[in-house]
Every structure is written in C-alpha cells, then in structure tokens.
Amino acid sequence: MLSMRLSSDFFNRNTVQVAQDLLGKYLVRKQGNKIIAARIIETEAYCGIKDLACHASKGLTPRTRVMFGPPGHTYIYFIYGMYHCLNFVTQKEGIPEAVLVRALDIPGSEGPGKLCRLLQIDKTLNDLSLDNNFVWVEDRGDRIKKSAIVKTKRIGVDYAGPWKDKLWRFVLQSSYDTELA
C-alpha cells in the first residue's frame, strides 16, 4: 500500500516532532468527487498553555476547545476577518497543542490563508476527527532527509515574548531554495 492515512498515534507525540514529520506527507482534500492531494512543505508547532504564541495559552475557550481534545482532529479558525488557518491537533486529550499547516507543494498555496482559500477550507471543517471524509493526511512513503528541513522562527508572533524566537517553523529545503535563492 503506497499511501496510508496517518493514525492518531502519529499525532499523539511531541508537537515539534510531529511538525517536522508532517513535512513530505500529503494533505488530502475531498470535495464531492474531486480530490486534491499535495505535499506539505511548511509547518509550525504551537505548544500548549505555556507557549504564549499558542491560542491555548489563553486557556480553555470555545475557540481553543478543539486543541484540548484528542490528537489528529482538525483545528480551523478564522483570522484577520478574511482568512482561515488549518491545524492538526497533537498530543493526547487534555494537552492543547497543534501543528499549523502553512504551505503545500501547489503553486499559489504558499501561506496559511491562501492554502485554505485554494482548498476551500473553512470553519465547517473545524473539529473533524481523523476518520472524516473531507480532509486528512497521508504518508506516501516519501523520506525526508533531516538536512533538508530548515528551522526558522515562527511568523507573526512578535507579541509572544521569549517564545517568539523558538525555531518551531519548519520548511522543506527545496521550496525554501526556490523562494529565497
């Protein structure tokens, strides 16, 4: 079997580890008969209540509730009045951590906002479990070399004090090259 849907075991681990492991995996989006699958090339880790850049640092609210739930669920929120961001919940139930999917290997999808617009992802897909039929992640056997992963600071979290400098944004080298060469 070439493609295998990721199980909850995959997400029930250290968030920074999951963020790196998601690089090279395939995000699959199903709309009716149409299926879009694309390699994930950029992620960010958001690590729980202590991480001031993470929404869950505000505590349990209606919006962050999903992150407190079981691993593998989608966490999708609306931001800046016009964009959605797609996350996957990590760690076991009760530990509010998640990985933000920032970019796919599709032209025009570089960035969380554009990505969701392209795949028509919105709040109706929030809080879906792993076995839903709309959006999930597959392992297609791609092996990513550790040296191909670039670690950088996260984007747009300058307000997060000491946490803003954490190298919790991960980018596949190849795409990084074409953008910044």
Sites of contact with DNA (CB under 7 A)? 44, 46, 53-56, 58, 61-64, 67, 75, 77-83, 85, 87, 98, 100, 110-115, 154-157, 159
> In terms of CB distance, is 118 or 140 closer to DNA?
118
Q: How far is the CB of 138 from DNA (least distance, A)?
A: 21
Q: Using an 8 Å Cβ cutoff, are 25 and 142 in contact?
A: yes
Structure-token pair, residue 179: 């953008």
> In terms of CB distance, is 93 or 142 closer to DNA?
93
Q: How far is the CB of 145 from DNA (least distance, A)?
A: 26
Q: How far is the CB of 41 from DNA (least distance, A)?
A: 13
Q: How far is the CB of 109 from DNA (least distance, A)?
A: 8
Burial of 73 (0-12, 13-18, 19+ CB in 10 A): buried
In DSSP notation, 89-140 reads EESSTT--EEEEEEEESSTT--SHHHHHHHTT--GGGTT--TT-SSEEEEE-
> In terms of CB distance, is 133 or 178 closer to DNA?
178
In DSSP notation, 29-65 reads EEETTEEEEEEEEEEEEEETTT-TTSGGGG-S-TTGG
> In terms of CB distance, is 140 or 153 closer to DNA?
153
Question: Any idea which residue has 């999951």 for tokens?
Answer: 18
> In terms of CB distance, is 4 or 60 closer to DNA?
60
